[in-house]
Amino acid sequence: MEIASLSRSARIWVTGHRGLVGSAVVRRLQADGFSNILTVTRAELDLRDQAAVSKWVRTNLPQYVVHVAGKVGGILANSRAPADFLYDNLLLHATVLRAAYEHRVEKLLYLGSSCIYPRECPQPIREESLLAGPLEKSNYGYAIAKIAGLLSCQAYREQYGCNFISAMPTNLYGPHDNFDLETSHVVPALIRKFHEAKQRGEQTVTIWGTGTPYREFLHVDDLADACLFLLEHYDAAEPINVGTGEDVMIRELAEIVREIVFPDAELRFDTSKPDGTPRKRLDVSRLQALGWKHRRGLRDGLRQTYEWYRAQSSPC
């Protein structure tokens, strides 16, 4: 979707530009001819340091901020480190939103996540369900920090008139994801597990949990497209869901990845690992009513991601 009115020379800061989402947003901005994309590495700027962030924003004066930096991880990483996920993500949004207010950023987009909705809520999940019930235990640290970020955007809008908007993306996957088997999310983990089993001549691939939860998956290039669509068309205080509106059982996901990567593999389920939320399919009708819809289906997206992973992991 062509971004019409954002000037191609506007100074747009993409935080977390090396990560799964940040790198996709930068790719998309570059493809659309934006010539003033601002990025800064973690080594150059610790986003948890308010004084340093305010100084960097004062020096670089971004007009727009796509704030997608975060401490993220899969179900095991989150369940093992709630304090760290809470601390880092709280600071990451507190500093950037404050500096954006101080230096009159014209518009800021902040990303939450579908995993911050209550563990048990009506499916598909509408934006109104936020805070309507107890959180999922496996990632409450991350969830509380992200909820605080969403509410901070609303508070800056209310108190200072800042045009800070927030989106709630579903589970994401794609190139430049984290493929570490302990800390990653399910899609990169399965791609790597099937790939390495095939390479090693191992017949069995272990899937965590029972395989019965459902998950919705959006390719990160579609998310990047949605981010820029929202930057262009959305100015409301309420968070807005971003997803495909379709989910798949984890067992079925594993069977699709097996078909793509290693059809002869056998599945084994390690029920000592957590299942997490039983289901968290998003109601994406509000975003679709605004005129946005995802383009890449799951099989196509998984195939594209595997091709990228295989190219990255093959010896040069």
Pairs from 98-101 (Cβ < 8 Å, separation ≥ 24):
98/50, 98/53, 98/54, 99/50, 99/53, 99/54, 99/56, 99/57, 99/58, 100/57, 100/62, 100/65, 100/67, 100/156, 100/162, 100/164, 101/156, 101/160, 101/162
Angle 124-303-228 (CA atoms, 0-180°, nearest 5)? 55
* Contact call for residue 110 and ligand GFB (CB under 6 A): no
**From the CB of 50, what's the least distance to ligand GFB, in Å?**
24
Q: Which is nearer to ligand GFB, 62 or 73 (CB)?
A: 73
* Contact call for residue 139 and ligand GFB (CB under 6 A): yes
Select from 36-44, 62-70, 137-145, 260-268 the region that touches ligand GFB (CB under 6 A): 137-145
**From the CB of 235, what's the least distance to ligand GFB, in Å?**
26
* Contact call for residue 209 and ligand GFB (CB under 6 A): yes
CB neighbour class for 83 (10 Å; exposed up to 12, middle 13-18, buried from 19): exposed
- Residues with catalytic function: 142
Count the site residues for ligand GFB by CB under 6 A.
24
Select from 27-35, 159-167, 185-193, 296-304 the region that touches ligand GFB (CB under 6 A): 185-193
**From the CB of 205, what's the least distance to ligand GFB, in Å?**
9
Select from 3-11, 20-28, 267-275, 302-310 the region that touches ligand GFB (CB under 6 A): 267-275
* Contact call for residue 261 and ligand GFB (CB under 6 A): no
Greatest Cα-to-Cα distance within the chain, rounded to the nearest angstrom? 61
* Contact call for residue 276 and ligand GFB (CB under 6 A): yes
Which residue spans within 222-275 are E strands per DSSP?
240-242, 247-249, 266-270
Dihedral pair phi/psi, residue 157, rounded to 5°: -65, -45
Q: Which is nearer to ligand GFB, 10 or 190 (CB)?
A: 190
Q: Are 231 and 107 in contact (CB under 8 A)?
A: yes
Q: Which is nearer to ligand GFB, 210 or 304 (CB)?
A: 210
* Contact call for residue 166 and ligand GFB (CB under 6 A): no
Among 78, 95, 244, 305, binds ligand GFB (CB under 6 A): 78
How many Å apart are CA 68 and CA 71, to the nearest integer? Answer: 10
* Contact call for residue 115 and ligand GFB (CB under 6 A): yes
Q: Are 89 and 149 in contact (CB under 8 A)?
A: yes
* Contact call for residue 149 and ligand GFB (CB under 6 A): no
Q: Are 218 and 97 in contact (CB under 8 A)?
A: no
Among 25, 250, 261, 298, binds ligand GFB (CB under 6 A): 250
* Contact call for residue 305 and ligand GFB (CB under 6 A): no
Q: Exposure pattern of 137-169 as b/e (b: 16+ CB <10 Å)? A: ebbbbbbbbbbbbbebbbebbeeeebbbbbbbb
What tokens were used for 257?
């990845």
Residues 15-74, interacting with ligand GFB (CB under 6 A): 74
**Residues at the contact surface with ligand GFB, assessed by CB under 6 A:** 74-75, 78, 113, 115, 138-139, 142, 171, 184-186, 189, 207-209, 213, 215, 250, 273-277
